[in-house]
Structure 1
Amino acid sequence: MGPHGKFYWNELLTDDVEKARAFYSATLGWTFSEMPMDGGHAYYVATLGGEPVAGMMDKTDILPPQVPPHWFSYINVDDVGARVELLKAAGGQVVREPFDIPGVGRIAIVCDATGAPFGMMTAADQG
């Protein structure tokens, strides 16, 4: 994982995973592997040259239908819990309090003081 404060991961939330996978395979040469998630959902990890480059998942059961497909970014932080508290003090909002994804890390979904959403993430192998 990169240094604290650096963008780390991007994922596409879409309502047509197969169409998106075909598009990014054709245009960027990405290949995809499926990673099962809770509730029977699937998360797809895109790779290029054997390296993970992005993620993708179906937004249908996660977001309201009026939210269009979009890319979502995560910023690496040294301590998600502590950084969420700083975010709150600085006028940001927490959409989803910190939670753990086994083998991946600790994540929080937040908005900055202007309302722009992003994720904070501390990788499992980082601490």
Structure 2
Amino acid sequence: MPQGLFVWYEVTTDAPDAVRAFYEGVIGWRIADPSPGHETAAIDYRHIYRADGAGQGGMLVLRPEMIAAGARPWWVPYLMVDSVPDTLAAITADGARVWMPPTTIAEGTFAMVADPWGAPFYLIDPTPPPGQDTPPPPVFAMDITQAVTWNELFTTDLPGARTFYARHFGFTYPDAMPMGAFGDYQFIAHPLQGRVGAMMARPSADAPLGWRTYFRVADVRAAAQAVRDLGGTLEGDVHEVPGDDLMIQARDPAGAFFGLVSRKSVA
């Protein structure tokens, strides 16, 4: 099984109704209704679907005890691994921490971890549904509207992060873009997914460490207006990025960071 593929994304939130309406309006997803008895269930998890019907991720509703333990609204990626226990043993020996021990459900075995510098992500060894002969549509793709189109890591140790993710997840680093005083914007590639994103030293002490998730939309300017209208916050203005794209960064109504990207020729 390929090690290190981006195969799922999860937003955690303490404002599920507002956040559901927000992403459905900004990106065009459909977020599932809560399950019966969700108020008292141990986990309140709601699946996210693109307009093409493909699953794109999930929304985890934060319970008070989760918030008390340090959870906050954010987007977190899932990286596929061959074996969750074996990968846990390897990465913890290299300084990573386990935030949630391995759990097995119908969809597979997963665990939540943080890299040695505090960036959270999940490991997952997925179990295909009975009768599934072909892989599901990708949740990461450079050219699929409503899918993730870029993964960006802020870290306090760029050389260390490069080595850690290369050693354990097969990442390669084809090139970098100098960012002046901020250092290099180090592009990341995976042998089976191509260029998947970038990592850099966090630009300021108050910039949260972690993976930052960017979604492709049809028109970034229209989506930015929807962010304003639906209770989110824009961080800066729409701007050009290398290639044929425009991008803007934002936060949802609960405060989870994300980015939006579209082609210049459309926007």
Interval containing the TM-score (normalised by the shorter chain): 0.7 to 0.9
- 1:7 pairs, out of 148, 151, 161, with 148
- 1:58 pairs, out of 186, 189, 201, with 201
SS at match of 1:114: coil
Q: CA deviation at 1:36?
A: 1.8
User: Over alpha carbons, which structure has the higher Rg?
Assistant: 2
SS at match of 2:174: strand
Structure 2 distance, partners of 1:79, 1:31, is 31
Gaps of 5+ in 1: none
- 2:168 pairs, out of 13, 27, 37, with 27
Structure 1 distance, partners of 2:172, 2:265, is 24
Distance change (3 Å), C-alpha of 1:55 and 1:126 = farther
Q: Which stretches of structure 1, 4 residues or longer, exceed 6 Å deviation after superposition?
A: none
Check if 1:89 corresponds to 2:243. Answer: no
The corresponding residue for 1:71 is: 211
Gaps of 5+ in 2: 1-141
Structure 2 distance, partners of 1:4, 1:71, is 20
Distance change (3 Å), C-alpha of 1:125 and 1:20 = farther
Q: TM-score, normalised by structure 2?
A: 0.43
**Greater shift in the superposed pair: 70-79 or 37-46:** 37-46
Q: TM-score, normalised by structure 1?
A: 0.84
Contact 1:46/1:55 (<8 A) preserved: yes
Aligned-partner residue type, residue 76 of structure 1: R
Aligned-partner residue type, residue 257 of structure 2: P
Q: CA deviation at 1:102?
A: 3.2
Aligned-partner residue type, residue 168 of structure 2: T
- 2:246 pairs, out of 98, 106, 118, with 106
Q: CA deviation at 1:124?
A: 5.2
Identity, % of aligned positions: 27
Q: CA RMSD in A?
A: 2.1
Q: CA deviation at 1:39?
A: 2.5
Relative CO higher for 1 or 2, CA cutoff 8 Å, sep ≥ 6? 1
Q: Give the structure with the higher percent strand.
A: 1
SS at match of 1:23: helix
